[in-house]
């Protein structure tokens, strides 16, 4: 229906166009009571042809709007690609290159002389026998086996820890670190590789030597399980970890040269990359790389959520003038002062690889320090104090030091209250927490602040990727709470094949574990036992440890030795 206005003078509506319905009579009209004062409104039905034409016109308008919207979307996309095409292309190529290198380094290895079989991936600290093997090594059998393919990563020769000893020169004691022993045997290189190993039963002498950068120790006694190595033909067994690191550093360095980069994007990308790198290369939690990759993609979102808060605390201020900086200044601030220190601190675990430093960033037991340790610690303390003075002075100048004092006072109060509530725990300030607390002090757009910020950020990411979120209140591990023997066990009534052993009692233990050449030969309540089936004219070594509830072994006491008689 439509409204038609009539003239007050004539009282009739305008003439209908061709095809209109007939004008309604007066009874069907709705008019004003005062005909001379108001126009007459008449309801008239619109012509069918005109209604159809209006509908077609409306449809044409809708189609036109959709076409204009599509055209606008295309133009917007093209403009965005023209403005950011170089950045998108650079990021895409970088991502695909790193993805390819990861695949070739960790997932593509196969043995050519074994019908393309996949080798078993083992870590630098893997061994075939340890203290958890149980009574007489029952949990580490078989002691003899056929050849099996294996693969080792790189960096295994860098770890100078005394716990990574190699015994023998072929065959090797099975409690030797497999990868270091394989390097010593010349089967793989220091960059990792593939080969074959087999277990060869017991031996009574292991001779030390130096080969391929690895020193093996001499052990002239019995051990129930040995390991041998041989070379094999393989493909994609070279570990590309160092290459991946170099490529990643160059990629992130290159972002300083690209136009239209966003500081927040660079920060989140750097954090995500650091987490993946530590999780899969620098400090892996296992050798199941498929499982590691799956966990990485799940856990990384928690870190990115925390990083969003961290970015607003400091990096947002450090890079507040990013778009106005010249290229040279960008390279200095981002490439030199941010990318390099960040990647350096991602390798914090390498501190333990320096044998003369004797510095342990985690754990409960002390280490034997020397002059070099104190010199390094003194240098770190001096650098930290200089940075603290500079940053605190800048906080005072900008007038926000009172907020910082209040914030950290509340934080310390919370820690002290919680520690008082759980007084049986120990306070452990993890380096992840320490670095997180330092980040807010580095919120300045200077090279020194950027370098300090990236360093503590790298330590923060490394700690989370390697250890996860840990509490600052911890209980002492059970094995440290068990009393440690103060005197060695005593051997007597020694024959060619047997010996009686006794040791002192310990308080608050549920039993004792006696080890002969690092093999548990007795586990029980008594403080004496008899060992049989020994080899004649051979020296054996003894240690004893307490056993607490749930079968947890304590630390070994002093070592003793005895020699069986000659036949």
How would DSSP label each residue in 466-483? HH-S--SEEPPPHHHHSP
Which pLDDT tens digit goes with each residue over 17-67? Answer: 444 434 444 434 334 444 444 444 444 444 554 444 454 455 556 666 777
Q: What is the pLDDT of residue 160?
A: 64
- At residue 358 the predicted structure's pLDDT band, cuts being 50, 70 and 90, is low
Domains: count for the chain? 4
With H, G, I as helix, E, B as strand and everything else as coil, classify residue 396: helix
Radius of gyration of the chain (CA): 38
The better pLDDT of the pair 455, 43 is held by 455
Measured from the Cβ of residue 315, the count of other Cβ atoms closer than 10 Å reads 27
Q: Is 168 inside a domain boundary?
A: yes
User: Are 286 and 402 found together in one domain?
Assistant: yes
Average the pLDDT over 510-532 and give the result.
95
Q: What is the pLDDT of residue 467?
A: 87
Planar angle of CA 188, 194, 200, nearest 5 degrees:
85
User: Are 47 and 133 found together in one domain?
Assistant: no
User: Are 207 and 134 found together in one domain?
Assistant: yes
φ, ψ (nearest 5 deg) of residue 351: -60, -40
User: Are 490 and 468 found together in one domain?
Assistant: no
Of the candidates 307, 347, 333, the residue with the CA atom closest to the CA atom of residue 253: 333
Q: How long is the chain?
A: 567
Using alpha carbons, list the distances in angstroms from residue 322 to 264, 271, 273, 334, 455.
11, 18, 21, 10, 20
CATH number of the domain residue 504 falls in: 2.60.40.10
Q: Is 101 inside a domain boundary?
A: no
Cα separation, 75 vs 266, in Å, equals 27
Q: Which residues 6+ apart lie within 8 Å of 299 measured at CB?
A: 275, 279, 468
Cα separation, 193 vs 280, in Å, equals 17
User: Are 421 and 376 found together in one domain?
Assistant: yes
Quick check: 305 pLDDT over 60?
yes
Q: Is 558 inside a domain boundary?
A: yes
User: Are 222 and 347 found together in one domain?
Assistant: no
Token pair in block for residue 356: 């003369």
User: Are 184 and 261 found together in one domain?
Assistant: no
User: Are 300 and 157 found together in one domain?
Assistant: no
User: Domain end: 235, 267, 287, which one?
Assistant: 235
Q: Is 343 inside a domain boundary?
A: yes
Task: Please give the mean pLDDT across all residues of the chain.
Answer: 84
Q: What is the pLDDT of residue 268?
A: 95
From start to end of 37-189, where are the E strands? 40-44, 110-111, 120-121, 148-152, 172-173
User: Are 448 and 492 found together in one domain?
Assistant: no
User: Domain end: 235, 254, 271, which one?
Assistant: 235
CATH number of the domain residue 169 falls in: 2.170.130.20
Q: Is 295 inside a domain boundary?
A: yes
User: Are 250 and 224 found together in one domain?
Assistant: no
Q: What is the pLDDT of residue 73?
A: 75
Q: Is 93 inside a domain boundary?
A: no
Quick check: 275 pLDDT over 70?
yes
Which pLDDT tens digit goes with each residue over 408-437? Answer: 999 999 999 999 999 888 888 888 999 999
Quick check: 5 pLDDT over 90?
no
Measured from the Cβ of residue 547, the count of other Cβ atoms closer than 10 Å reads 19
Q: What is the pLDDT of residue 151?
A: 94
In the chain the first and final C-alpha atoms are separated, in Å, by 125
Q: What is the pLDDT of residue 11?
A: 41
Q: What is the pLDDT of residue 365?
A: 55
Structural domain boundaries enclosing 221: 114-235
User: Domain end: 456, 474, 492, which one?
Assistant: 474
Q: What is the pLDDT of residue 328?
A: 93
Q: Is 187 inside a domain boundary?
A: yes
User: Are 353 and 424 found together in one domain?
Assistant: yes
Cα separation, 257 vs 87, in Å, equals 10
Using alpha carbons, list the distances in angstroms from residue 352 to 21, 64, 113, 284.
98, 69, 37, 15
Planar angle of CA 280, 284, 286, nearest 5 degrees:
115
HSE-CB at 157 with a 13 A cutoff on CA atoms is: 20
Cα separation, 74 vs 67, in Å, equals 10
User: Are 229 and 258 found together in one domain?
Assistant: no
Average the pLDDT over 147-166 and give the result.
83
Q: Is 557 inside a domain boundary?
A: yes
């Amino acid at each position: 229906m439509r409204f038609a206005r009539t003239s007050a003078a004539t009282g009739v509506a305008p003439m209908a166009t061709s095809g209109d319905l007939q004008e309604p009579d007066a009874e069907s009209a709705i008019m004003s009571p005062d005909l001379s004062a108001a126009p007459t409104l008449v309801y008239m039905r619109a012509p069918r042809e005109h209604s159809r034409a209006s509908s077609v016109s409306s449809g044409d308008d809708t189609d036109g709007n959709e076409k204009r919207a599509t055209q606008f979307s295309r133009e917007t996309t093209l403009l965005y690609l023209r403005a950011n095409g170089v950045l998108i292309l650079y990021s895409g190529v970088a991502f695909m290159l790193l993805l390819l290198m990861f695949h070739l380094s960790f997932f593509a290895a196969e043995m050519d002389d074994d019908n393309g079989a996949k080798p078993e991936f083992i870590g630098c600290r893997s061994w075939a026998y340890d203290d958890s093997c149980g009574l007489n090594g029952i949990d580490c059998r078989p002691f003899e086996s056929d050849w099996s393919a294996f693969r080792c990563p790189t960096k295994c020769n860098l770890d100078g820890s005394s716990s990574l000893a190699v015994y023998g020169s072929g065959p090797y004691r099975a409690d030797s670190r497999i990868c270091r022993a394989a390097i010593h045997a010349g089967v793989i290189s220091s960059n990792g590789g593939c080969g074959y190993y087999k277990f060869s039963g017991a031996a009574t002498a292991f001779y030390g030597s130096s080969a391929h950068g690895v020193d093996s120790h001499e052990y002239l006694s019995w051990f129930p399980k040995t390991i041998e190595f041989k070379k094999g033909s393989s493909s994609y067994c070279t570990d590309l970890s160092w290459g991946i690191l170099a490529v990643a550093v160059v990629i992130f360095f290159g972002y300083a040269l690209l136009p239209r980069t966003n500081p927040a994007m660079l920060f989140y990308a750097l954090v995500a990359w650091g987490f993946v790198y530590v999780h899969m290369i620098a400090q892996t939690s296992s050798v199941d790389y498929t499982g590691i990759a799956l966990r990485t993609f799940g856990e990384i979102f928690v870190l990115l959520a925390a990083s969003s808060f961290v970015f607003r605390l400091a990096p947002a201020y450090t890079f507040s003038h990013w778009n106005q900086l010249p290229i040279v200044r960008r390279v200095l601030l981002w490439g030199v002062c941010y990318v390099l220190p960040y990647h350096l601190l991602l390798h914090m675990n390498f501190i333990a690889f320096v044998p003369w430093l004797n510095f342990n960033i985690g754990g409960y037991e002390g280490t034997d320090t020397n002059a070099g340790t104190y010199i390094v610690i003194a240098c770190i303390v001096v650098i930290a104090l200089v940075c603290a003075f500079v940053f605190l002075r800048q906080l005072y100048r900008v007038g926000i030091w009172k907020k910082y004092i209040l914030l950290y006072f509340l934080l310390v109060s919370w820690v002290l209250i919680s520690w008082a509530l759980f007084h049986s725990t120990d306070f452990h300030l993890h380096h992840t927490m320490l670095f997180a607390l330092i980040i807010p002090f580095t919120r300045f757009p200077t090279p020194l602040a950027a370098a300090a910020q990236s360093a503590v950020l790298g330590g923060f990411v490394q700690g989370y990727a390697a250890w996860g979120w840990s509490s600052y209140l911890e209980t002492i591990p059970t094995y440290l709470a068990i009393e440690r023997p103060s005197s060695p066990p005593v051997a007597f009534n020694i024959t060619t094949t047997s010996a009686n052993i006794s040791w002192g009692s310990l308080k608050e233990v549920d039993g004792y574990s006696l080890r002969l050449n690092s093999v548990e030969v007795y586990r029980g309540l008594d403080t004496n036992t008899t060992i049989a089936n020994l080899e004649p004219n051979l020296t054996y070594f003894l240690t004893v440890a307490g056993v607490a509830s749930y079968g947890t072994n304590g630390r070994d006491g002093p070592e003793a030795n005895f020699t069986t008689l000659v036949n």
